[in-house]
Amino acid sequence: MDGGRSVGQRPLEFPAGVSGSLVDDESRSVHPKADPMTKTAPQPPRRARRIDPNNFHLGEVLRANTAGGVLMLIATLIALVWAFLGKHGYEAFVEYPIGPYTVAEWASDGLLTVFFFISGLELKREFTEGSLRRPADAMVPITAAACGMAGPALVFIVINVLGGGTLHGWAVPVATDIAFALAVLAVAGRHLPPSLRAFMLTLAIADDLGGIIVIAIVFSTDLSFAWLGGALACMLLWWILQRRRVDNGWIYLPIFLVCWFCMLHSGVHATIAGVGLGLLTRNTPEALNEPLDRWQHVLDPWSAGLVVPIFALTNAGVHVDGQLFAALWTNPVPLGIIAGLVLGKFIGILTGSWLTVHLSRARLGDGLTWGDMIAAAELGGVGLTVSLLIAHLSFLNNPEVYDEAKAGVLAGSTISAILAVLLLQWRTAVHKRWRREKARAGRALRAGAGAAPVRTGTGPGSTAGA
């Protein structure tokens, strides 16, 4: 998830005429020593462009959405190849015991708590200073996220009811993987309006909140109120220390570990401890260097570079043979997951956005058209991290169906990603054409020849545009 804010950085300043200045070269006055025939001034030697060394630090690289998505994709491919070439070796790795738990359990119930802690921090930021501070201002992506969760669930339920399957996995296709989705958008849609990324970011954050609620409610079994009370006591202590502005991070580390341990034994999934503590972390919009900023800055590279890739490595591996490949398109559980991600997400996000715009005063972001929303809706079908976790929780006691569910998540996410890339490239070509037409019309006006009338429905501001 994105949203880290730089602290204490001075804005870049460019003197007039230097590359990067807001003053265009053509608009400057003629140099007093300019050649009267050419009206050009002697040009000073160019200074070498300064390179920010921070851009090459590993931490800064891992904080980029693209890097996190690429690492997760690499880990997923390694798991698939490993499971395909040596199923027994892969299973021995993920089931290898380390203390009381296996490698896969440490990844799902332990390391992933850090990922959800960062999710909690980002949710807290959005509630205090971001798009969720005034939900009315972000009504389109919030409603799209809600409908984007309901659509896949309904598609899964319909397919499994008609096909005689099980309803246990209805929550698997409801989640959008923010890291991978934003990585795809950064690569394939970098020339599209910035408001599209803002829409996807808000949608994914609201989607994460919905996924967290689903995990907390649906997958809480055999509750132990003693252990749950211990976890809540740790959260209360965390909140009190935050209120008293105790900022030494090492004091919070044992509280975090004890809260996780209590939640692990309470019957509620352990990752909820991370979300709760993240939401209780102090963040004052007017203040700088708050704990939320510092901790997210420190933990983001570890989450993107270690936590999520390890989780993908230990959960995405599935031995794909002819039988499993056939099951993807014939068995209701994997088919429901694939259809939920590819079609359910698309229909839900697009329908929610359309209803919100047409039934309220909410509007799409600057420069966005419904053609762009089509690409965004399909991009929402990329669900990996949370979908794999929910598949693990849903079918843990049924290994055969669990493998089919994992394969369904991977297949559905891959299809959605490929379709989204194609749609984003189409929208990029459309926006580039609009910009060329606008530039051509501007040049014609400046030349005094008059611009050709712009055709109705060919620009991003028109209601009839694609």
CB atoms within 10 A of CB 437: 16
CATH number (domain holding residue 97):
1.20.1530.10
How many domains, in total, are found in the chain?
1
Q: Can you give the pLDDT at residue 450? A: 52
- Inside any domain, residue 58: no
pLDDT tens series, the chain, 466 aa: 444 444 444 344 433 333 333 333 333 334 444 444 444 444 444 444 444 444 446 556 555 556 777 888 899 899 999 998 988 999 999 999 999 999 999 999 999 999 899 988 988 888 888 767 777 778 999 999 999 999 999 999 999 999 998 998 999 999 888 878 888 888 888 788 888 888 988 888 888 888 888 888 888 777 899 999 999 999 999 999 999 999 888 999 999 999 999 999 998 889 899 999 999 999 887 777 788 988 988 898 888 889 989 999 998 888 888 888 999 999 999 999 999 999 999 999 999 999 999 998 888 888 889 999 999 999 999 988 889 999 998 998 888 899 999 999 999 999 999 999 999 999 999 988 888 888 888 888 888 755 455 554 455 544 444 5
Q: Can you give the pLDDT at residue 445? A: 85
- Inside any domain, residue 18: no
- Inside any domain, residue 262: no
Model-level pTM?
Answer: 0.75
Round the CA-based radius of gyration of the chain to a whole number and report it: 25
- Token reading at 127: 């509630």
Q: What is the rounded CA–CA span in Å between residue 75 and residue 405?
A: 18
Q: Can you give the pLDDT at residue 23? A: 34
- Inside any domain, residue 10: no
- Inside any domain, residue 251: no
Closest CA relative to residue 68, chosen from 345, 392, 349, 312: 312
Contact in structure between 386 and 188 (CB atoms under 8 Å): no
- Inside any domain, residue 3: no
Q: What is the rounded CA–CA span in Å between residue 79 and residue 372?
A: 34
In the block, residue with structure tokens 């003629």: 30
- Inside any domain, residue 59: no
Q: Domain of 202? A: 65-219+269-427
- Inside any domain, residue 364: yes
**The dihedral sign for the CA sequence 93, 335, 116, 75:** positive
